[in-house]
Chain A
């Protein structure tokens, strides 16, 4: 636990150092801070005892914060949280390195906020206390808003404000739901406690009408973050306006907070609500896939295109989660990590040519393979990873997500009946075609074809004048680790799959019975110990 807190606090210590250090050293301190955090997390992962069980580690000690309200500072990882934290910690130094040339104003602040952002995200993934999770989850908005609003494009303030308000509104519902569950916990046990496991244990025993609302409220919060159609409109703008590194973290880690929230809260806490709403969510996910893919097709802004592709990809991820069987869940969680890698890398790639040309418009820019062959190699590689080419990382997740949806039939022999089934999978799989289409069109425009270079906008105050040349060593160092990770995970997904599998099963532990009940349209079963909740539900309905 101390180690985990240390890994969260290290970047914050680096922030303190940055504040007092000269500006030219800020980047190195930031890099050191993130690397130290990565090192600590790697060490935690190295000696992580629960790789095969899906349980939390450390499992016992709780740290009280506000005892009367049951708030604790308890942190601990299960494998999914650890993987996501590792992903974040892995991308942070790369983002810092990638920002060396792109950030020229308010440098100290930039790195400071970036470190805060990283710490906050890791805190959210590490939290075992629901309110602590919320703190990390919500606080990410502050640094991200500032990073966008200060270092972003021309519409940066609108984008930042919209992102903040939209996600803030969403997470308010989520907070209310968490507090409600906490209250139910208090009713049944007599004490406030926001330990996630305790809340889950309480929540699953509530009557299904109550769970329905809990699920809906949690879902609204997480759906905004994911983002799920039709709550996605903040994302393209935010991505479009954010600086490169901000986009990377936004796509790779912050959006994952949404899916992670589903994994950690919405699904396990309210299984009875989950089954009732799963087809709704699944349909929204499918709409997201098709809708966002089609929009990607006609985007001329490279970053917006990737942003919409995130909407589509995460739609698939959500679909996998809501297949409510281990295959889909496994795929979705796996995909969470890998979408972070490939999309993050794509944003880095786009940032690199944006730094050179100050435009992301694919209509005026093209054929960069001739000018920047090394960059082109990376761009093609990550695009293919994003398309889901087998052998690269994206494939396994996508394949399992669709497979899980396919398997989610009511007469499935997997032990996990579902209500989705092949038709959902077929429509979702159409998204794979579309993904190939729009990403290859993007490649065709900016990588291949005759060289088209725009006039450089001189005197753009935000951006350094990076010479128009191929990637330098620093940029290669930024991209290469991600490429290696993509390849390695693509060929060796087994360790990660094994690590996720028990978590996926644990998330779904209540679902087979619930789905059975739902399919048979039984009246909602009142579990023992839920009488107080019943009364409350009745009161509420009155």
Chain B
């Protein structure tokens, strides 16, 4: 094959990867620039990261300008169009969270002249490069065409995060978090990898579209084979690690608590988004009932729905995840840990979208991911904007009476909790309602009931985090709380807090964007447009 022709054939695909390429370039620049002797150059790294991310958002329209004109081999051809900007957008805010935190001690040493510059002791460049790589991995996932891509992208998301946890902050707690995160992450990777192998064995292909067709063929004759089922189950369970869902969620409280706050915020969103995108892709191969696709011959093939065991497993995962997350959250005295449990619980809610499937389910997941990203970032941002004697805020005593000294952060924290609990009119509420709508579409009434009860239970601890800073009197610990030197975390908190409210106003457009991105091809009507009762 002529290389030029191959390139020409590839070009539509490459065009789709424009945002990722931008990030890649940015990451390389950041990594190199991090070694600069110039302090200002090093301090400009977060800014550079932001610019990179914003640039990648900016090229998203460009990437999809030739939308649908070529066969890109994508299962959900427009998924990236929503997922990429979403991930990059939240990542911009996540970048702001950590400004001034990474390398702070070393930089301080340099600044007061006690140490000489040593490129081996400076890690800021690495950190932001890893940051960008991880984000890039998450964005790449949306454009995955086969299992290899999927696997590599997931690993690209994960591997940098292991390091980020370890190097993003001070003390030994990040180390412990990192080791737990890494080892358990490796185990989960092995699990889904084995699942991929079985899936490959059963369907004969690594390409998602081919897998879809093979599974459809299987289910049309004898039903999806056992090997495929077990492979899928293992893949799902392995990915559950990324989304902190039962039974792979146990690491989350420890890691979130141990990780630096801004990295915890990162962990709460980027791997989770990646995991859900991967799960969406995997399950789209199996297909939900009420969904149909056009095969190569233009024949519409309707999905039979998830195989019973998988549907049942997802159902159980959803129920147990949200329940365990919420009841676990009740017992905590650490804000970060509570937010970790909240993260678990929210994954449980989002799994409802996976169970529900269909277009509405995926839309709901995307909307919920965005909402969750913004509101949990708001909470973590409010925490990371403050410190107590140079240490991160963690216990409830630290935030008690925060209003007195740091009213704005107190309000933003409360705002984020209100959104997390699903209080109207915040975006968390809209997302939750839409999730329930999706569940109704799939006649998953029991899940709605469980989720509703769980929302009420979760109110117990969200309310505590919201009320503590606003109402409780300042404690001895919270009197010592000061703002971090950088104003950016505060800015991020305000932006995210405001966004929880503003986004709900524009929830309609966000949702329609999400919906557009999940339609399989232009010709295929989604379940939303053509109602059909299961």
**A interface, CB within 8 angstroms of B:** 64-69, 71, 131, 134-136, 138-139, 141-142, 145-146, 149-150, 156-157, 160-161, 164-165, 168-169, 172-173, 175-176, 179-180, 182-183, 186-187, 190, 192, 532, 535-536, 539-540
In the bound assembly, the distance between CA atoms of A175 and B434 in angstroms comes to: 12
Query: Residue B350 at the A interface, CB < 8 A?
Result: no
Q: A157-B467, A157-B471, A164-B463 are in contact. Are A172 and B508 (CB under 8 A)?
A: no
B413 to chain A, nearest CB (A): 14
Q: A68-B508, A172-B453 are in contact. Are A142 and B423 (CB under 8 A)?
A: yes
Sorted nearest first, the 8 A-B pairs with minimum C-beta distance are A183-B440, A135-B424, A169-B456, A66-B508, A172-B452, A149-B471, A190-B531, A135-B425
Pairwise interchain contact B445-A540, C-beta atoms closer than 8 A: yes
In the bound assembly, the distance between CA atoms of A71 and B456 in angstroms comes to: 23
Query: Residue B437 at the A interface, CB < 8 A?
Result: yes
Q: In the complex, which residues of chain B have a beta carbon less than 8 angstroms from the beta carbon of A172?
A: 452-453, 455-456
- Could you list 9 further interchain pairs (A-B, Cβ under 8 angstroms) beyond the known A64-B508, A175-B433? A66-B430, A68-B508, A146-B471, A149-B467, A150-B470, A156-B471, A157-B467, A161-B467, A180-B445
In the bound assembly, the distance between CA atoms of A178 and B513 in angstroms comes to: 26
Q: A165-B456, A187-B533, A539-B443 are in contact. Are A66 and B507 (CB under 8 A)?
A: yes
B468 to chain A, nearest CB (A): 10
Pairwise interchain contact B463-A157, C-beta atoms closer than 8 A: no
7 A–B contact pairs at CB < 8 A? A69-B433, A149-B471, A168-B421, A175-B452, A183-B440, A183-B441, A186-B440
A479 to chain B, nearest CB (A): 30
Pairwise interchain contact B418-A142, C-beta atoms closer than 8 A: yes
Q: A138-B423, A149-B467, A164-B463 are in contact. Are A68 and B452 (CB under 8 A)?
A: no
Pairwise interchain contact A179-B437, C-beta atoms closer than 8 A: yes
Q: In the complex, which residues of chain B have a beta carbon less than 8 angstroms from the beta carbon of A65?
A: 507-508
A363 to chain B, nearest CB (A): 30
Query: Residue B42 at the A interface, CB < 8 A?
Result: no
B144 to chain A, nearest CB (A): 26
Which residue of B is nearest A181, CB measured?
A: B440
Q: In the complex, which residues of chain A have a beta carbon less than 8 angstroms from the beta carbon of B511?
A: 66, 68-69
Query: Residue B515 at the A interface, CB < 8 A?
Result: yes
Q: In the complex, which residues of chain A have a beta carbon less than 8 angstroms from the beta carbon of B265?
A: none
Query: Residue B448 at the A interface, CB < 8 A?
Result: yes
Count of A-B residue pairs with CB < 8 Å: 108
Most buried by A among B363, B424, B464: B424
In the bound assembly, the distance between CA atoms of A462 and B164 in angstroms comes to: 48
Pairwise interchain contact B533-A67, C-beta atoms closer than 8 A: no
Which residue of B is nearest A191, CB measured?
A: B531
Q: In the complex, which residues of chain A have a beta carbon less than 8 angstroms from the beta carbon of B66?
A: none
Most buried by A among B429, B434, B452: B452
Interface string of B63-80 (1 = CB under 8 A from A): 000000000000000000
Pairwise interchain contact A536-B443, C-beta atoms closer than 8 A: yes
Pairwise interchain contact B434-A176, C-beta atoms closer than 8 A: no
A133 to chain B, nearest CB (A): 10
A154 to chain B, nearest CB (A): 13
In the bound assembly, the distance between CA atoms of A141 and B459 in angstroms comes to: 12
Q: In the complex, which residues of chain A have a beta carbon less than 8 angstroms from the beta carbon of B528?
A: 68
Q: In the complex, which residues of chain A have a beta carbon less than 8 angstroms from the beta carbon of B434?
A: 66, 69
Interface string of B93-132 (1 = CB under 8 A from A): 0000000000000000000000000000000000000000
Interface string of B461-482 (1 = CB under 8 A from A): 0011001001110000000000
Pairwise interchain contact B437-A141, C-beta atoms closer than 8 A: no
Query: Residue B256 at the A interface, CB < 8 A?
Result: no
Q: In the complex, which residues of chain A have a beta carbon less than 8 angstroms from the beta carbon of B433?
A: 69, 71, 131, 175, 179
Pairwise interchain contact B425-A182, C-beta atoms closer than 8 A: no
Which residue of B is nearest A168, CB measured?
A: B459
Pairwise interchain contact A160-B531, C-beta atoms closer than 8 A: no
In the bound assembly, the distance between CA atoms of A47 and B433 in angstroms comes to: 36
Q: In the complex, which residues of chain A have a beta carbon less than 8 angstroms from the beta carbon of B7?
A: none
Which residue of B is nearest A174, CB measured?
A: B452
In the bound assembly, the distance between CA atoms of A87 and B429 in angstroms comes to: 28
Q: In the complex, which residues of chain B have a beta carbon less than 8 angstroms from the beta carbon of A64?
A: 508
B429 to chain A, nearest CB (A): 7
Which residue of B is nearest A179, CB measured?
A: B436
Interface residues of B in 485-534 (CB under 8 A from A): 507-508, 511-512, 515, 528, 531, 533
Pairwise interchain contact A150-B437, C-beta atoms closer than 8 A: no
Q: In the complex, which residues of chain B have a beta carbon less than 8 angstroms from the beta carbon of A146?
A: 470-471
Q: A69-B434, A157-B467, A536-B443 are in contact. Are A141 and B455 (CB under 8 A)?
A: no
Q: In the complex, which residues of chain A have a beta carbon less than 8 angstroms from the beta carbon of B437?
A: 69, 179, 182-183, 192
In the bound assembly, the distance between CA atoms of A142 and B470 in angstroms comes to: 12
Query: Residue B449 at the A interface, CB < 8 A?
Result: yes
Pairwise interchain contact A176-B456, C-beta atoms closer than 8 A: no
A288 to chain B, nearest CB (A): 23
Q: In the complex, which residues of chain A have a beta carbon less than 8 angstroms from the beta carbon of B453?
A: 169, 172
Q: In the complex, which residues of chain B have a beta carbon less than 8 angstroms from the beta carbon of A173?
A: 452
In the bound assembly, the distance between CA atoms of A176 and B445 in angstroms comes to: 9
Q: A66-B508, A67-B508, A149-B471 are in contact. Are A139 and B424 (CB under 8 A)?
A: yes
Pairwise interchain contact A160-B467, C-beta atoms closer than 8 A: yes
In the bound assembly, the distance between CA atoms of A134 and B429 in angstroms comes to: 10
Q: In the complex, which residues of chain A have a beta carbon less than 8 angstroms from the beta carbon of B430?
A: 66, 71
Across the interface, A182 reaches (CB within 8 A) one of B363, B424, B440, B467, namely B440
Query: Residue B58 at the A interface, CB < 8 A?
Result: no
Q: A149-B471, A190-B531 are in contact. Are A164 and B459 (CB under 8 A)?
A: yes
Pairwise interchain contact A135-B512, C-beta atoms closer than 8 A: no
In the bound assembly, the distance between CA atoms of A533 and B497 in angstroms comes to: 41
Pairwise interchain contact B440-A179, C-beta atoms closer than 8 A: yes
Pairwise interchain contact A535-B459, C-beta atoms closer than 8 A: no
Which residue of A is nearest B421, CB measured?
A: A168
Query: Residue B25 at the A interface, CB < 8 A?
Result: no
Q: In the complex, which residues of chain A have a beta carbon less than 8 angstroms from the beta carbon of B459?
A: 164-165, 168-169
Which residue of A is nearest B432, CB measured?
A: A175
Q: In the complex, which residues of chain A have a beta carbon less than 8 angstroms from the beta carbon of B429?
A: 135, 138
In the bound assembly, the distance between CA atoms of A138 and B455 in angstroms comes to: 13
Query: Residue B460 at the A interface, CB < 8 A?
Result: yes
In the bound assembly, the distance between CA atoms of A149 and B472 in angstroms comes to: 9
B409 to chain A, nearest CB (A): 15
Q: In the complex, which residues of chain B have a beta carbon less than 8 angstroms from the beta carbon of A141?
A: 423
In the bound assembly, the distance between CA atoms of A135 and B505 in angstroms comes to: 12
Across the interface, B533 reaches (CB within 8 A) one of A145, A169, A182, A532, namely A532
Q: In the complex, which residues of chain B have a beta carbon less than 8 angstroms from the beta carbon of A187?
A: 531, 533
In the bound assembly, the distance between CA atoms of A32 and B439 in angstroms comes to: 45
Q: In the complex, which residues of chain B have a beta carbon less than 8 angstroms from the beta carbon of A176?
A: 436, 448-449, 452
A206 to chain B, nearest CB (A): 14
Q: In the complex, which residues of chain A have a beta carbon less than 8 angstroms from the beta carbon of B470?
A: 146, 149-150
Pairwise interchain contact A134-B424, C-beta atoms closer than 8 A: yes
Pairwise interchain contact A180-B467, C-beta atoms closer than 8 A: no
In the bound assembly, the distance between CA atoms of A182 and B445 in angstroms comes to: 13
Most buried by A among B430, B433, B449, B460: B433
A135 to chain B, nearest CB (A): 4
B355 to chain A, nearest CB (A): 15
In the bound assembly, the distance between CA atoms of A134 and B423 in angstroms comes to: 10
Pairwise interchain contact A165-B463, C-beta atoms closer than 8 A: yes
Q: In the complex, which residues of chain B have a beta carbon less than 8 angstroms from the beta carbon of A142?
A: 418, 423
Most buried by A among B430, B459, B464, B512: B459
In the bound assembly, the distance between CA atoms of A187 and B533 in angstroms comes to: 7
In the bound assembly, the distance between CA atoms of A99 and B239 in angstroms comes to: 55
In the bound assembly, the distance between CA atoms of A131 and B437 in angstroms comes to: 12
In the bound assembly, the distance between CA atoms of A171 and B389 in angstroms comes to: 42
Q: In the complex, which residues of chain A have a beta carbon less than 8 angstroms from the beta carbon of B508?
A: 64-68, 71
Pairwise interchain contact A535-B533, C-beta atoms closer than 8 A: yes
Q: In the complex, which residues of chain A have a beta carbon less than 8 angstroms from the beta carbon of B531?
A: 186-187, 190
In the bound assembly, the distance between CA atoms of A513 and B433 in angstroms comes to: 34
In the bound assembly, the distance between CA atoms of A192 and B433 in angstroms comes to: 12
In the bound assembly, the distance between CA atoms of A172 and B453 in angstroms comes to: 7
B343 to chain A, nearest CB (A): 21
B441 to chain A, nearest CB (A): 7
B97 to chain A, nearest CB (A): 25
